[in-house]
């Protein structure tokens, strides 16, 4: 069973540049989530897809952030005009299930660590 | 609003001892799920155990068990016979009301010594 794969593992960029991260979920999982984790904190929810539909976005997801999941497979998270405060670990997770309250755990990738110079 | 509280920033235990990591939660939803994850220094989040609010018995998975006290709104993780490889950050999390995201606590760092 191949786990959730995220690329790249690390990204260093200058403030103001655009960056894009990719997440490949576990193949049979229809749900996909993006989280952001800063040092010493737990992950914070950014957005959620059920198949190809983006069903929920957090207030943390400013208009500089956009996420897509074409064809309900892999997903990309793009940050435009990066700022110092965007430095964090970006985690992707996937799960199966259709029930509103699902007992299916979310399986996480290794994350992409973003550093803004 | 839903909230997860982990009050222990760090815990220290010797190998083969048992340790309890505390977690309290707040929700007005009658149906909810509670999760524990482990995050080693390498960064990946590893799912450990799940407890549903209507489950009659406390969840167990190998050396992990969840001490679920619904009236006190607590869901403590118990690790029996600690191993050096258990040293990591541990997060308690709750499924949000829409079932679309996890709400995490701030985590507890567990250090296991020989």
CB contact under 8 A, B50 and A103: yes
CB contact under 8 A, B95 and A102: yes
Cα separation, A81 vs B85, in Å, equals: 40
pLDDT at A102: 61
**Subunit contact A40:B106, Cβ cutoff 8 A:** yes
Q: Decide if B107 and A41 are in contact by the 8 Å CB cutoff.
A: yes
**pLDDT over 60 at A99, yes or no:** no
Q: What is the SS3 assignment for A86?
A: helix
Q: How far is CA B42 from CA A35, A55, B1, B102, in A?
A: 17, 31, 32, 21
CA distance A98 to chain B (A): 9
Q: Are the beta carbons of A41 and B106 separated by less than 8 Å?
A: yes
Residue B22 has pLDDT above 90, yes or no: yes
At B1, the pLDDT band (50, 70, 90 cuts) reads confident
Point out the residue among A42, A48, A110 whose CB comes nearest to the CB of B100.
Answer: A48
Mean pLDDT of chain A: 91
Give the whole-angstrom CA distance, residue B98 versus residue A5.
26
Beta bridge mates, A32:
A49, A94
Q: How many CA atoms lie within 13 A of A35 on its CB side?
A: 24
pLDDT at residue A1 greater than cutoff 60: no
Residue B58 has pLDDT above 80, yes or no: yes
Average confidence score pLDDT of chain B:
93
Q: Which residue has the tokens 């155990």?
A: B49
Instruction: Identify which of B46, B100, B102 has the shortest CB distance to residue A55.
Output: B100
Residue A101 pLDDT > 80: no
Contacts of B96 in chain A (CB under 8 A): 45
Confidence (pLDDT) at B75: 97
pLDDT at A74: 96
* Per-residue pLDDT band at A98 (split at 50, 70, 90): low
Q: Indicate if the pLDDT at residue A21 is higher than 70.
A: yes
Q: How many CA atoms lie within 13 A of A32 on its CB side?
A: 30
Strand duo A107-108 + A88-95: pairing: antiparallel
Query: How big is the CA angle at B60 (ends B58 and B66), to the nearest 5 degrees?
Result: 55
pLDDT tens-digit readout, B76-111: 999 999 999 999 999 999 987 667 789 999 999 999
In terms of DSSP bridges, do strands B60-61 and B108-113 run parallel, antiparallel, or are they unpaired?
unpaired
The Cα angle at residue B104 between residues B103 and B107, in degrees rounded to 5: 170
Taking CA–CA distances from B92, the nearest residue in chain A reads A42
């Amino acid at each position: 069973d191949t786990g959730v794969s995220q690329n790249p593992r690390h990204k260093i960029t200058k403030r103001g540049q655009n960056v894009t991260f990719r997440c490949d979920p576990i193949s049979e999982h229809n749900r996909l989530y993006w989280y952001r984790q800063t040092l010493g904190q737990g992950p914070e929810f950014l957005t959620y897809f059920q198949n190809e539909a983006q069903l929920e976005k957090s207030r943390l997801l400013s208009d500089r952030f956009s996420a897509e999941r074409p064809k309900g497979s892999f997903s990309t998270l793009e940050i435009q005009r990066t700022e110092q405060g965007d430095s964090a670990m970006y985690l992707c997770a996937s799960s199966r299930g259709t029930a509103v309250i699902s007992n299916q755990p979310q399986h996480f990738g290794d994350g992409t660590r973003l550093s803004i110079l | 609003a839903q909230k997860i509280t982990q009050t222990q920033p760090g815990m220290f235990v010797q190998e083969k001892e048992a340790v309890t990591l505390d977690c309290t939660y707040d929700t007005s939803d009658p149906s909810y799920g509670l999760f524990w994850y482990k995050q080693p220094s390498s960064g990946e989040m590893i799912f450990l155990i799940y407890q549903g609010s209507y489950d009659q018995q406390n969840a167990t998975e190998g050396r992990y068990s969840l001490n679920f006290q619904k009236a006190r709104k607590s869901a403590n993780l118990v690790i029996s016979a600690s191993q050096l490889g258990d040293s990591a950050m541990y997060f308690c999390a709750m499924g949000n009301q829409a079932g679309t995201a996890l709400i995490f606590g701030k985590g507890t760092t567990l250090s296991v010594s020989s």
